[in-house]
Chain A
Amino acid sequence: MRLDGQFGVKAPREEVYDFLTDPRRVSRHVPDVKDIEIADRDHFTVKARVGISHIKGTMVMKLAITERQPPISTTVIGKGSGLASVVDMATSFTLETSENEGTVVHWRGDLSVSGSLAAFGPQGLLDRVAKKNVEQFIAGIKSGLEAKETDAESR
């Protein structure tokens, strides 16, 4: 399944890029992240609660930043396991300078799910659940970047 979208933030591209390539900062703004372990500059493991309603469980995602093109684009790929299922994902961000020194973040996520979750419900429903989780993730990133703006403004 492929999902994509874009959103604008009032921050320079370099700042947005720095934020997106800092898993610790990103994870603070993504809902339901329980733990993050940084292995090195490019590799990290995230423990998060995923799912909808009562079909929820902890997923352990091993992630890697594979492409760094500061301050233009970055890609994070990884594999998660939990809920008796395996999730493969790749998310890439491309940053574009907009008017008034703002930045437009274009994102694209590729996701595939196999295991019990894939066998449980109709594919369309699974896609919907995955979409909901990805949208929450993106909304978290957006709010993180906006919170940064507020921090900067209040300084």
Chain B
Amino acid sequence: MYPAAFEYFAPQTVDEVLELLTRYGEDAKILAGGQSLLPMMKLRISSPRYLIDVNRIGALAGFKHEGDHFVFGALCRHVEIAESSRIREYLPLMSDAANVTADVQVRNRGTLGGSLAHADPAGDWAVALLALGARVTITGGHGARTVPLNEFIVDAYATQLGADEVLTEVSVPLRQKPWGGAYAKFEKRAGDFAVASVGVQLELDPEACCRSVAVSLGALGPAPTLVREVGELLQGQTASPELLGEAERLVRTQADPFEDTRGSIEYKRHLAGVLFRRAFAVAVGRARGLDVKTLHL
């Protein structure tokens, strides 16, 4: 399959990208890793007339640890996060997500910014980053603005990005230890999109009470969501079996999945509860300093 004809640009700076976006508006599309866009173009579901390849913009590459934040360039590849020992140490939830995103080939090319801007309801990054309270920087002709990720994604495949704007950066705040997180994903085949996925990031106090808990759901609605009720339920509490049971019930209730070939609504809700339990247990272990692996099966 071949995509429809398009005109190709390879700007070297963000300013040049903005100029092109201003000129071509909705007829233009930004090409980052191309792991979603190119298949869509080949299926002719997406047929942009102008393709703006941002891969040559060095300022958008990689990530850095700045004080109490990690800052990721929009072009940071999944593989960079998957293989980083620093990310595994500070943000194991992201490490989990990066290692189960699609397959090796996609991870080598796909980018964090591209994945967020694509806003696939079953994508991994938004779920992981929602639990971490990430913010994204959107750059446009009028300058840059930073928005919380939960406001950035507005619906399935829809974000706050205007036709003349580009996502340039993702910032993830760090909290004091004991702090731990995990991302649990269930997929039908290796490398597939999630049937359901859950992110848990929590902060404990020295008495092992939950100082804060953030739970996010993926592929369980039109867009990844935070289940704030669970955070409210567990805040200041020690996670007893009864409380965890109630939290699991809340997760299942808040999940709003579609029925499809991957499973029924009832099945996916059940799965949400199971994944929440797994992610929670791993997150607690990690907050206590243990080297725990997340089970995705």
Contact indicator A55/B157 (Cβ below 8 Å):
yes
Contact indicator A123/B45 (Cβ below 8 Å):
no
Interface residue? A25 (CB, 8 A): no
Contact of A52 among B43, B122, B158, B260 (CB under 8 A): B158
List 4 A-B pairs, minimum CB-CB distance, nearest first: A124-B258, A122-B260, A84-B44, A53-B158
Known: A52-B156, A52-B158, A54-B157. A116 touches B44 (CB 8 A): yes
Contact of B156 among A85, A117, A119, A128 (CB under 8 A): A128
Q: Which of A54, A120, A124, A127 has the largest number of chain B CB atoms within 10 A?
A: A54
Q: Shortest beta-carbon distance, A1 to chain B, in Å?
A: 12
Contact indicator B258/A123 (Cβ below 8 Å):
yes
Interface residue? B262 (CB, 8 A): yes
In the complex the two chains form, what is the Cα distance from A119 to B122 in whole Å? 15
- Where chain B touches its partner, the secondary structure class is loop
Interface residue? B47 (CB, 8 A): yes
Interface residue? A57 (CB, 8 A): yes
In the complex the two chains form, what is the Cα distance from A103 to B113 in whole Å? 50
Interface residue? B119 (CB, 8 A): yes
Contacts of A119 in B (CB 8 A): 43
Residues of A within 8 A of B (CB): 52-57, 83-85, 116-117, 119-125, 127-129
Contacts of B261 in A (CB 8 A): 122-123
Contact indicator B158/A124 (Cβ below 8 Å):
no
In the complex the two chains form, what is the Cα distance from A128 to B157 in whole Å? 12
Name the residue of chain B whose CB is nearest to the CB of A123. B260
Contacts of A57 in B (CB 8 A): 44-47
Contact indicator B43/A120 (Cβ below 8 Å):
yes
Interface residue? B89 (CB, 8 A): no
Interface residue? B29 (CB, 8 A): yes
Contacts of A124 in B (CB 8 A): 257-260
Contact indicator B119/A53 (Cβ below 8 Å):
yes
In the complex the two chains form, what is the Cα distance from A97 to B159 in whole Å? 42
Name the residue of chain B whose CB is nearest to the CB of A82. B44
Interface residue? B285 (CB, 8 A): no
Q: Which of A52, A53, A123, A127 has the largest number of chain B CB atoms within 10 A?
A: A53
Contact indicator B258/A122 (Cβ below 8 Å):
yes
Q: Shortest beta-carbon distance, B46 to chain A, in Å?
A: 6
In the complex the two chains form, what is the Cα distance from A57 to B122 in whole Å? 22
Contact indicator B45/A83 (Cβ below 8 Å):
yes
Contacts of B259 in A (CB 8 A): 123-124
Contact indicator B262/A120 (Cβ below 8 Å):
no
Query: What 0/1 readout, one digit per residue, does chain B (236-252) give for beta carbons within 8 Å of chain A?
Result: 00000000000000000
Name the residue of chain A whose CB is nearest to the CB of B37. A54
Contact indicator B46/A54 (Cβ below 8 Å):
yes
Contact indicator B156/A125 (Cβ below 8 Å):
yes
Query: What 0/1 readout, one digit per residue, does chain B (1-44) give for beta carbons within 8 Å of chain A?
Result: 00000000000000000000000000001000000000010011
Contact indicator B40/A120 (Cβ below 8 Å):
yes
Contact of A55 among B40, B122, B260 (CB under 8 A): B40
Contacts of B156 in A (CB 8 A): 52-53, 121, 125, 128-129
Contacts of B260 in A (CB 8 A): 122-125
Sample of 13 further A-B pairs with CB below 8 A, known A122-B260, A123-B259, A125-B121 = A52-B157, A53-B159, A54-B157, A57-B45, A84-B44, A117-B45, A119-B43, A120-B40, A122-B121, A123-B261, A124-B260, A128-B258, A129-B156
